[in-house]
Structure 1
Protein backbone atom coordinates (compact mmCIF):
# COMPACT_ATOMS: atom_id res chain seq x y z
CA UNK A 1 0.00 0.00 0.00
CA UNK A 2 1.63 3.24 -1.16
CA UNK A 3 0.65 6.02 1.25
CA UNK A 4 2.66 9.22 1.58
CA UNK A 5 3.77 10.60 4.92
CA UNK A 6 1.35 13.51 4.61
CA UNK A 7 -1.61 11.14 4.19
CA UNK A 8 -0.30 8.89 6.99
CA UNK A 9 -0.19 11.90 9.32
CA UNK A 10 -3.91 12.47 8.66
CA UNK A 11 -4.77 8.83 9.38
CA UNK A 12 -2.54 7.91 12.36
CA UNK A 13 -2.14 9.39 15.83
CA UNK A 14 1.24 10.38 17.40
CA UNK A 15 2.06 6.90 18.73
CA UNK A 16 1.13 5.21 15.47
CA UNK A 17 3.25 7.74 13.51
CA UNK A 18 6.22 6.61 15.60
CA UNK A 19 5.64 3.07 14.37
CA UNK A 20 5.34 4.38 10.81
CA UNK A 21 8.73 6.16 11.07
CA UNK A 22 10.39 3.07 12.56
CA UNK A 23 9.14 0.96 9.64
CA UNK A 24 11.09 2.99 7.09
CA UNK A 25 14.13 1.30 5.51
CA UNK A 26 16.90 3.27 7.29
CA UNK A 27 15.28 2.94 10.71
CA UNK A 28 14.54 -0.77 10.25
CA UNK A 29 18.21 -1.65 9.72
CA UNK A 30 19.10 -0.21 13.14
CA UNK A 31 16.56 -2.28 15.11
CA UNK A 32 17.45 -5.51 16.86
CA UNK A 33 15.32 -8.60 17.36
CA UNK A 34 13.98 -7.54 20.77
CA UNK A 35 13.04 -4.06 19.52
CA UNK A 36 11.32 -5.55 16.46
CA UNK A 37 9.29 -7.91 18.69
CA UNK A 38 8.01 -4.99 20.77
CA UNK A 39 7.05 -2.95 17.71
CA UNK A 40 5.30 -5.93 16.09
CA UNK A 41 3.18 -6.40 19.21
CA UNK A 42 2.19 -2.71 19.34
CA UNK A 43 1.44 -2.56 15.60
CA UNK A 44 -0.70 -5.72 15.72
CA UNK A 45 -2.81 -4.27 18.53
CA UNK A 46 -3.28 -0.99 16.62
CA UNK A 47 -4.27 -2.89 13.45
CA UNK A 48 -6.80 -5.02 15.33
CA UNK A 49 -8.38 -1.90 16.85
CA UNK A 50 -8.61 -0.31 13.40
CA UNK A 51 -10.27 -3.45 11.96
CA UNK A 52 -12.76 -3.60 14.82
CA UNK A 53 -13.65 0.03 14.15
CA UNK A 54 -14.22 -0.71 10.46
CA UNK A 55 -16.53 -3.63 11.35
CA UNK A 56 -18.54 -1.55 13.82
CA UNK A 57 -18.97 1.23 11.27
CA UNK A 58 -20.24 -1.31 8.68
CA UNK A 59 -22.80 -2.66 11.13
CA UNK A 60 -23.92 0.82 12.05
CA UNK A 61 -24.35 1.75 8.37
CA UNK A 62 -26.47 -1.38 7.74
CA UNK A 63 -28.69 -0.51 10.64
CA UNK A 64 -29.38 2.94 9.26
CA UNK A 65 -29.98 1.91 5.59
CA UNK A 66 -31.38 -1.61 6.02
CA UNK A 67 -29.15 -3.04 3.21
CA UNK A 68 -26.45 -5.70 3.38
CA UNK A 69 -23.64 -3.32 2.58
CA UNK A 70 -25.11 -0.05 3.58
CA UNK A 71 -24.92 3.21 1.68
CA UNK A 72 -22.54 4.81 4.21
CA UNK A 73 -19.49 2.88 2.94
CA UNK A 74 -17.81 6.10 1.78
CA UNK A 75 -17.77 7.38 5.35
CA UNK A 76 -15.96 4.23 6.41
CA UNK A 77 -13.11 4.60 3.83
CA UNK A 78 -10.81 6.51 6.20
CA UNK A 79 -10.96 3.72 8.77
CA UNK A 80 -10.23 1.13 6.05
CA UNK A 81 -7.17 3.08 4.86
CA UNK A 82 -5.87 3.27 8.43
CA UNK A 83 -6.31 -0.47 8.95
CA UNK A 84 -4.55 -1.24 5.66
CA UNK A 85 -1.66 1.12 6.51
CA UNK A 86 -1.13 -0.49 9.94
CA UNK A 87 -1.21 -3.94 8.30
CA UNK A 88 1.51 -2.82 5.86
CA UNK A 89 3.63 -1.51 8.75
CA UNK A 90 3.20 -4.84 10.52
CA UNK A 91 4.38 -6.75 7.43
CA UNK A 92 7.56 -4.60 7.28
CA UNK A 93 8.43 -5.31 10.90
CA UNK A 94 7.80 -9.06 10.50
CA UNK A 95 9.93 -9.28 7.33
CA UNK A 96 12.81 -7.43 9.02
CA UNK A 97 12.57 -9.72 12.08
CA UNK A 98 12.80 -12.78 9.82
CA UNK A 99 15.94 -11.41 8.15
CA UNK A 100 17.51 -10.52 11.51
CA UNK A 101 16.91 -14.06 12.81
CA UNK A 102 18.44 -15.57 9.69
CA UNK A 103 21.52 -13.35 10.04
CA UNK A 104 21.84 -14.28 13.72
CA UNK A 105 21.59 -17.99 12.95
CA UNK A 106 24.21 -17.67 10.20
CA UNK A 107 26.62 -15.83 12.51
CA UNK A 108 26.07 -18.44 15.23
CA UNK A 109 26.84 -21.25 12.78
CA UNK A 110 29.96 -19.41 11.64
CA UNK A 111 31.08 -18.98 15.26
CA UNK A 112 30.56 -22.69 15.97
CA UNK A 113 32.51 -23.63 12.86
CA UNK A 114 35.37 -21.35 13.86
CA UNK A 115 35.38 -22.81 17.38
CA UNK A 116 35.47 -26.35 16.02
CA UNK A 117 38.37 -25.52 13.72
CA UNK A 118 40.30 -23.93 16.57
CA UNK A 119 39.65 -26.97 18.77
CA UNK A 120 40.80 -29.27 15.97
CA UNK A 121 44.01 -27.30 15.54
CA UNK A 122 44.73 -27.45 19.27
CA UNK A 123 44.11 -31.20 19.33
CA UNK A 124 46.35 -31.67 16.30
CA UNK A 125 49.08 -29.65 17.98
CA UNK A 126 48.83 -31.69 21.20
CA UNK A 127 48.85 -35.10 19.47
CA UNK A 128 52.40 -34.84 17.98
CA UNK A 129 53.65 -33.62 21.35
CA UNK A 130 52.20 -36.69 23.07
CA UNK A 131 53.66 -38.96 20.45
CA UNK A 132 57.05 -37.31 20.71
CA UNK A 133 57.12 -37.55 24.52
CA UNK A 134 58.14 -41.27 24.67
CA UNK A 135 60.82 -40.69 22.05
CA UNK A 136 62.23 -37.76 24.01
CA UNK A 137 62.23 -39.82 27.21
CA UNK A 138 64.11 -42.62 25.44
CA UNK A 139 66.64 -40.14 24.10
CA UNK A 140 67.18 -38.69 27.57
CA UNK A 141 67.73 -42.14 29.06
CA UNK A 142 70.28 -42.97 26.36
CA UNK A 143 72.07 -39.68 26.96
CA UNK A 144 72.25 -40.35 30.70
CA UNK A 145 73.79 -43.77 30.12
CA UNK A 146 76.38 -42.35 27.76
CA UNK A 147 77.17 -39.60 30.24
CA UNK A 148 77.64 -42.19 33.00
CA UNK A 149 80.11 -44.11 30.88
CA UNK A 150 82.15 -41.07 29.97
CA UNK A 151 82.17 -39.64 33.49
CA UNK A 152 84.92 -41.96 34.71
CA UNK A 153 87.12 -41.21 31.70
CA UNK A 154 86.56 -37.50 32.03
CA UNK A 155 87.41 -37.49 35.73
CA UNK A 156 90.99 -38.63 35.11
CA UNK A 157 91.48 -36.08 32.34
CA UNK A 158 90.12 -33.30 34.54
CA UNK A 159 92.54 -34.26 37.34
CA UNK A 160 95.47 -34.05 34.93
CA UNK A 161 94.41 -30.64 33.64
CA UNK A 162 94.00 -29.36 37.19
CA UNK A 163 97.58 -30.38 38.03
CA UNK A 164 99.09 -28.74 34.93
CA UNK A 165 97.22 -25.44 35.41
CA UNK A 166 96.38 -25.04 31.69
CA UNK A 167 92.60 -24.62 32.19
CA UNK A 168 93.23 -21.80 34.67
CA UNK A 169 95.41 -19.97 32.14
CA UNK A 170 92.82 -20.39 29.39
CA UNK A 171 90.09 -19.15 31.70
CA UNK A 172 92.17 -16.10 32.60
CA UNK A 173 92.73 -15.32 28.91
CA UNK A 174 89.00 -15.68 28.24
CA UNK A 175 88.07 -13.37 31.10
CA UNK A 176 90.35 -10.56 29.92
CA UNK A 177 90.12 -7.26 31.84
CA UNK A 178 87.58 -7.20 34.63
CA UNK A 179 85.27 -4.19 35.11
CA UNK A 180 87.14 -3.19 38.28
CA UNK A 181 90.46 -3.20 36.46
CA UNK A 182 89.02 -1.19 33.56
CA UNK A 183 87.67 1.39 36.03
CA UNK A 184 91.06 1.64 37.74
CA UNK A 185 92.82 2.17 34.39
CA UNK A 186 90.34 4.90 33.44
CA UNK A 187 90.85 6.71 36.73
CA UNK A 188 94.64 6.55 36.31
CA UNK A 189 94.40 8.08 32.82
CA UNK A 190 92.16 10.86 34.10
CA UNK A 191 94.54 11.68 36.95
CA UNK A 192 97.48 11.81 34.52
CA UNK A 193 95.54 14.12 32.22
CA UNK A 194 94.53 16.42 35.09
CA UNK A 195 98.13 16.54 36.32
CA UNK A 196 99.33 17.51 32.84
CA UNK A 197 96.66 20.19 32.62
CA UNK A 198 97.75 21.65 35.98
CA UNK A 199 101.37 22.10 34.81
CA UNK A 200 102.13 25.70 33.66
CA UNK A 201 102.69 26.26 29.97
CA UNK A 202 105.97 27.82 28.70
CA UNK A 203 104.25 31.08 27.75
CA UNK A 204 102.58 31.25 31.20
CA UNK A 205 105.85 31.13 33.14
CA UNK A 206 106.93 34.49 34.69
CA UNK A 207 110.29 33.49 36.16
CA UNK A 208 111.84 32.35 32.88
CA UNK A 209 112.29 28.79 34.15
CA UNK A 210 109.66 27.25 31.95
CA UNK A 211 110.46 25.06 29.03
CA UNK A 212 111.40 27.04 25.94
CA UNK A 213 108.77 27.24 23.23
CA UNK A 214 109.60 25.38 20.03
CA UNK A 215 111.26 27.49 17.34
CA UNK A 216 109.23 28.56 14.35
CA UNK A 217 110.26 27.46 10.89
CA UNK A 218 109.84 24.70 8.39
CA UNK A 219 109.10 21.21 9.52
CA UNK A 220 111.82 19.67 7.31
CA UNK A 221 114.69 20.58 5.05
CA UNK A 222 112.67 19.52 1.99
CA UNK A 223 109.95 22.00 2.91
CA UNK A 224 112.51 24.77 3.29
CA UNK A 225 114.08 23.95 -0.10
CA UNK A 226 110.72 23.98 -1.84
CA UNK A 227 109.89 27.34 -0.28
CA UNK A 228 113.19 28.80 -1.51
CA UNK A 229 112.59 27.49 -5.05
CA UNK A 230 109.14 29.02 -5.06
CA UNK A 231 110.47 32.38 -3.87
CA UNK A 232 113.23 32.35 -6.53
CA UNK A 233 110.69 31.64 -9.26
CA UNK A 234 108.46 34.47 -8.14
CA UNK A 235 111.37 36.92 -7.97
CA UNK A 236 112.19 36.36 -11.67
CA UNK A 237 108.73 37.51 -12.82
CA UNK A 238 108.53 40.90 -14.59
CA UNK A 239 107.83 43.79 -12.26
CA UNK A 240 104.29 45.08 -12.00
CA UNK A 241 104.20 48.89 -12.43
CA UNK A 242 101.87 49.73 -9.64
CA UNK A 243 98.27 48.85 -9.25
CA UNK A 244 95.52 49.32 -11.84
CA UNK A 245 94.43 52.64 -10.37
CA UNK A 246 98.00 53.95 -10.53
CA UNK A 247 98.31 53.00 -14.23
CA UNK A 248 94.96 54.64 -14.94
CA UNK A 249 96.15 57.90 -13.38
CA UNK A 250 99.38 57.79 -15.40
CA UNK A 251 97.52 57.18 -18.66
CA UNK A 252 95.07 59.99 -17.89
CA UNK A 253 97.96 62.37 -17.19
CA UNK A 254 99.51 61.49 -20.53
CA UNK A 255 96.26 62.22 -22.33
CA UNK A 256 95.84 65.52 -20.52
CA UNK A 257 99.42 66.54 -21.32
CA UNK A 258 98.96 65.65 -25.01
CA UNK A 259 96.01 67.98 -25.27
CA UNK A 260 97.84 70.91 -23.67
CA UNK A 261 100.83 70.58 -26.07
CA UNK A 262 98.59 70.73 -29.12
CA UNK A 263 97.17 74.04 -27.96
Structure 2
Protein backbone atom coordinates (compact mmCIF):
# COMPACT_ATOMS: atom_id res chain seq x y z
CA UNK A 1 0.00 0.00 0.00
CA UNK A 2 1.01 3.63 -0.24
CA UNK A 3 3.64 4.74 2.24
CA UNK A 4 4.10 8.22 3.61
CA UNK A 5 6.88 9.01 1.14
CA UNK A 6 4.83 7.86 -1.82
CA UNK A 7 1.46 9.41 -0.98
CA UNK A 8 0.30 11.53 -3.85
CA UNK A 9 -3.22 12.48 -3.18
CA UNK A 10 -5.88 12.19 -0.54
CA UNK A 11 -9.62 12.31 -0.80
CA UNK A 12 -11.41 13.77 2.23
CA UNK A 13 -15.05 13.58 3.29
CA UNK A 14 -17.67 10.86 3.50
CA UNK A 15 -19.40 11.39 0.17
CA UNK A 16 -16.25 11.82 -1.99
CA UNK A 17 -14.65 8.70 -0.48
CA UNK A 18 -17.83 6.65 -0.84
CA UNK A 19 -18.29 7.75 -4.46
CA UNK A 20 -14.68 6.83 -5.27
CA UNK A 21 -15.06 3.41 -3.63
CA UNK A 22 -18.23 2.74 -5.61
CA UNK A 23 -16.35 3.49 -8.84
CA UNK A 24 -14.12 0.49 -8.01
CA UNK A 25 -11.46 1.58 -10.52
CA UNK A 26 -8.53 0.51 -8.34
CA UNK A 27 -7.42 4.03 -7.44
CA UNK A 28 -8.31 3.94 -3.73
CA UNK A 29 -5.36 2.37 -1.92
CA UNK A 30 -6.42 2.76 1.71
CA UNK A 31 -9.19 4.34 3.81
CA UNK A 32 -8.53 5.95 7.20
CA UNK A 33 -11.47 6.35 9.59
CA UNK A 34 -11.30 8.51 12.69
CA UNK A 35 -11.78 6.54 15.90
CA UNK A 36 -15.10 7.23 17.57
CA UNK A 37 -16.87 8.28 14.36
CA UNK A 38 -19.99 6.24 13.66
CA UNK A 39 -23.16 6.30 11.63
CA UNK A 40 -24.80 4.83 8.56
CA UNK A 41 -22.47 6.70 6.19
CA UNK A 42 -19.42 5.24 7.95
CA UNK A 43 -20.96 1.75 7.83
CA UNK A 44 -21.56 2.22 4.12
CA UNK A 45 -17.95 3.25 3.55
CA UNK A 46 -16.77 0.14 5.42
CA UNK A 47 -18.96 -2.11 3.28
CA UNK A 48 -17.89 -0.41 0.03
CA UNK A 49 -14.22 -0.68 1.01
CA UNK A 50 -14.60 -4.38 1.82
CA UNK A 51 -16.35 -5.00 -1.50
CA UNK A 52 -13.55 -3.18 -3.34
CA UNK A 53 -10.80 -5.02 -1.43
CA UNK A 54 -9.51 -1.76 0.07
CA UNK A 55 -8.02 -1.88 3.58
CA UNK A 56 -9.55 0.31 6.29
CA UNK A 57 -7.61 1.58 9.30
CA UNK A 58 -9.00 3.25 12.43
CA UNK A 59 -6.77 6.13 13.52
CA UNK A 60 -6.90 8.99 16.05
CA UNK A 61 -8.24 12.40 14.97
CA UNK A 62 -4.76 14.04 14.80
CA UNK A 63 -3.71 11.45 12.21
CA UNK A 64 -6.75 12.21 10.05
CA UNK A 65 -6.19 15.96 10.48
CA UNK A 66 -2.58 15.50 9.38
CA UNK A 67 -3.57 13.53 6.29
CA UNK A 68 -6.05 16.15 5.15
CA UNK A 69 -5.10 19.56 6.56
CA UNK A 70 -7.50 22.38 5.74
CA UNK A 71 -10.08 19.82 4.59
CA UNK A 72 -13.55 19.13 5.98
CA UNK A 73 -12.82 15.42 6.27
CA UNK A 74 -15.73 14.36 8.53
CA UNK A 75 -13.48 11.67 9.96
CA UNK A 76 -12.87 9.98 6.59
CA UNK A 77 -9.76 10.19 4.39
CA UNK A 78 -8.67 7.93 1.53
CA UNK A 79 -5.26 7.60 -0.08
CA UNK A 80 -5.68 7.74 -3.84
CA UNK A 81 -3.34 6.49 -6.55
CA UNK A 82 -2.79 9.13 -9.25
CA UNK A 83 -3.96 6.86 -12.06
CA UNK A 84 -6.40 4.01 -12.29
CA UNK A 85 -5.29 0.45 -12.98
CA UNK A 86 -6.65 -1.26 -16.07
CA UNK A 87 -8.60 -4.51 -16.12
CA UNK A 88 -6.38 -7.22 -17.64
CA UNK A 89 -9.00 -8.46 -20.11
CA UNK A 90 -9.81 -4.93 -21.21
CA UNK A 91 -6.15 -4.04 -21.59
CA UNK A 92 -5.35 -7.13 -23.66
CA UNK A 93 -8.42 -6.65 -25.85
CA UNK A 94 -7.31 -3.09 -26.52
CA UNK A 95 -3.78 -4.18 -27.44
CA UNK A 96 -4.69 -7.13 -29.68
CA UNK A 97 -8.26 -8.49 -29.51
CA UNK A 98 -7.76 -11.87 -31.19
CA UNK A 99 -5.12 -14.58 -31.42
CA UNK A 100 -4.57 -13.70 -35.09
CA UNK A 101 -3.93 -10.05 -34.25
CA UNK A 102 -1.58 -11.04 -31.42
CA UNK A 103 0.44 -13.19 -33.83
CA UNK A 104 0.41 -10.53 -36.52
CA UNK A 105 1.34 -7.50 -34.40
CA UNK A 106 3.62 -9.33 -31.89
CA UNK A 107 3.07 -7.00 -28.93
CA UNK A 108 5.65 -6.72 -26.16
CA UNK A 109 4.31 -6.60 -22.60
CA UNK A 110 6.06 -6.43 -19.25
CA UNK A 111 5.02 -8.12 -16.00
CA UNK A 112 6.47 -7.29 -12.59
CA UNK A 113 6.65 -9.96 -9.88
CA UNK A 114 6.62 -8.10 -6.55
CA UNK A 115 8.88 -5.18 -7.47
CA UNK A 116 8.62 -3.27 -4.18
CA UNK A 117 10.54 -0.04 -4.76
CA UNK A 118 8.32 2.60 -6.41
CA UNK A 119 11.43 4.17 -8.00
CA UNK A 120 12.25 0.89 -9.71
CA UNK A 121 8.61 0.56 -10.76
CA UNK A 122 8.68 4.03 -12.32
CA UNK A 123 12.04 3.49 -14.00
CA UNK A 124 10.82 0.20 -15.51
CA UNK A 125 7.70 1.89 -16.87
CA UNK A 126 9.87 4.64 -18.37
CA UNK A 127 11.96 2.04 -20.23
CA UNK A 128 8.79 0.19 -21.23
CA UNK A 129 7.25 3.30 -22.79
CA UNK A 130 10.53 4.17 -24.53
CA UNK A 131 10.72 0.66 -26.03
CA UNK A 132 7.13 0.79 -27.26
CA UNK A 133 5.78 -1.74 -24.77
CA UNK A 134 2.02 -2.15 -25.08
CA UNK A 135 1.14 -2.69 -21.41
CA UNK A 136 2.27 -3.78 -17.96
CA UNK A 137 0.90 -6.37 -15.53
CA UNK A 138 1.48 -6.22 -11.77
CA UNK A 139 0.24 -8.24 -8.77
CA UNK A 140 -1.94 -6.73 -6.04
CA UNK A 141 0.26 -7.84 -3.15
CA UNK A 142 3.85 -6.91 -2.26
CA UNK A 143 3.99 -4.56 -5.20
CA UNK A 144 5.05 -0.92 -5.18
CA UNK A 145 2.10 1.46 -5.60
CA UNK A 146 1.65 3.45 -8.78
CA UNK A 147 2.34 6.54 -6.68
CA UNK A 148 3.79 10.01 -7.15
CA UNK A 149 7.24 8.57 -6.43
CA UNK A 150 6.79 5.96 -9.19
CA UNK A 151 5.43 8.53 -11.63
CA UNK A 152 8.27 10.95 -10.88
CA UNK A 153 10.82 8.15 -11.43
CA UNK A 154 9.13 7.42 -14.77
CA UNK A 155 9.46 11.11 -15.77
CA UNK A 156 5.70 11.11 -16.24
CA UNK A 157 5.66 8.26 -18.72
CA UNK A 158 3.81 5.96 -16.28
CA UNK A 159 0.68 7.80 -17.38
CA UNK A 160 1.29 6.74 -20.99
CA UNK A 161 1.10 2.96 -20.57
CA UNK A 162 -1.83 0.88 -19.31
CA UNK A 163 -1.03 -1.01 -16.10
CA UNK A 164 -3.27 -3.96 -15.16
CA UNK A 165 -3.30 -5.18 -11.57
CA UNK A 166 -4.14 -8.84 -10.99
CA UNK A 167 -4.87 -10.96 -7.92
CA UNK A 168 -2.67 -13.84 -9.08
CA UNK A 169 0.26 -13.29 -11.44
CA UNK A 170 0.65 -17.00 -12.28
CA UNK A 171 -3.00 -17.14 -13.39
CA UNK A 172 -2.44 -13.99 -15.46
CA UNK A 173 0.61 -15.57 -17.10
CA UNK A 174 -1.46 -18.62 -18.07
CA UNK A 175 -4.09 -16.28 -19.53
CA UNK A 176 -1.41 -14.47 -21.53
CA UNK A 177 -0.10 -17.77 -22.89
CA UNK A 178 -3.60 -18.76 -23.95
CA UNK A 179 -3.82 -15.46 -25.84
CA UNK A 180 -0.68 -16.34 -27.81
CA UNK A 181 2.08 -14.64 -25.82
CA UNK A 182 5.41 -16.25 -24.96
CA UNK A 183 6.49 -15.52 -21.41
CA UNK A 184 10.17 -14.85 -20.66
CA UNK A 185 11.37 -14.42 -17.08
CA UNK A 186 14.57 -12.50 -16.33
CA UNK A 187 16.80 -14.66 -14.15
CA UNK A 188 20.53 -14.33 -13.38
CA UNK A 189 20.69 -18.05 -12.55
CA UNK A 190 18.84 -19.38 -15.60
CA UNK A 191 19.73 -23.01 -16.24
CA UNK A 192 18.18 -26.13 -17.71
CA UNK A 193 16.08 -26.45 -20.84
CA UNK A 194 14.42 -23.07 -20.28
CA UNK A 195 17.71 -21.18 -20.04
CA UNK A 196 18.63 -18.58 -22.64
CA UNK A 197 20.10 -15.08 -22.72
CA UNK A 198 18.54 -11.81 -23.76
CA UNK A 199 20.98 -11.73 -26.71
CA UNK A 200 20.24 -15.22 -28.06
CA UNK A 201 16.50 -15.55 -27.43
CA UNK A 202 14.28 -15.29 -30.54
CA UNK A 203 12.21 -12.21 -29.69
CA UNK A 204 10.35 -12.23 -33.02
CA UNK A 205 7.03 -13.17 -31.42
CA UNK A 206 4.36 -11.80 -29.05
CA UNK A 207 6.20 -11.72 -25.74
CA UNK A 208 5.82 -10.90 -22.05
CA UNK A 209 9.00 -10.08 -20.12
CA UNK A 210 8.72 -10.86 -16.40
CA UNK A 211 10.89 -8.94 -13.92
CA UNK A 212 11.32 -10.34 -10.41
CA UNK A 213 11.68 -8.84 -6.95
CA UNK A 214 14.77 -6.69 -6.31
CA UNK A 215 16.17 -9.12 -3.73
CA UNK A 216 14.70 -12.56 -4.34
CA UNK A 217 14.01 -12.49 -8.07
CA UNK A 218 11.12 -14.46 -9.55
CA UNK A 219 8.94 -16.46 -7.19
CA UNK A 220 9.07 -20.24 -7.85
CA UNK A 221 5.52 -20.42 -9.21
CA UNK A 222 6.09 -17.50 -11.58
CA UNK A 223 9.42 -18.95 -12.65
CA UNK A 224 7.82 -22.30 -13.40
CA UNK A 225 5.09 -20.63 -15.46
CA UNK A 226 7.58 -18.91 -17.79
CA UNK A 227 8.32 -20.43 -21.20
CA UNK A 228 11.96 -19.32 -21.00
CA UNK A 229 14.35 -17.86 -18.44
CA UNK A 230 16.71 -15.26 -19.87
CA UNK A 231 19.89 -14.03 -18.21
CA UNK A 232 21.94 -10.96 -19.06
CA UNK A 233 25.58 -12.05 -19.53
CA UNK A 234 27.95 -10.05 -17.33
CA UNK A 235 31.43 -9.07 -18.47
CA UNK A 236 32.53 -7.30 -15.32
CA UNK A 237 32.72 -8.37 -11.66
CA UNK A 238 29.02 -7.77 -10.88
CA UNK A 239 26.66 -10.54 -9.80
CA UNK A 240 23.41 -8.91 -10.81
CA UNK A 241 21.86 -5.72 -12.16
CA UNK A 242 19.26 -3.43 -10.65
CA UNK A 243 15.78 -4.66 -11.61
CA UNK A 244 14.99 -1.56 -13.66
CA UNK A 245 18.30 -1.71 -15.54
CA UNK A 246 17.79 -5.41 -16.32
CA UNK A 247 14.25 -4.71 -17.49
CA UNK A 248 15.44 -1.91 -19.78
CA UNK A 249 18.11 -4.10 -21.38
CA UNK A 250 15.64 -6.93 -22.00
CA UNK A 251 12.96 -4.61 -23.40
CA UNK A 252 15.32 -3.05 -25.93
CA UNK A 253 16.78 -6.46 -26.82
CA UNK A 254 13.21 -7.57 -27.58
CA UNK A 255 12.49 -4.71 -29.97
CA UNK A 256 15.89 -4.07 -31.56
CA UNK A 257 15.10 -5.96 -34.77
CA UNK A 258 11.56 -4.63 -35.18
CA UNK A 259 10.49 -1.85 -37.51
* TM-score between the two structures when normalised by the length of structure 2: 0.15
Which structure shows the higher helix fraction?
A: 1
* TM-score between the two structures when normalised by the length of structure 1: 0.15
Which structure has the bigger radius of gyration?
1
Which structure shows the higher strand fraction?
A: 2
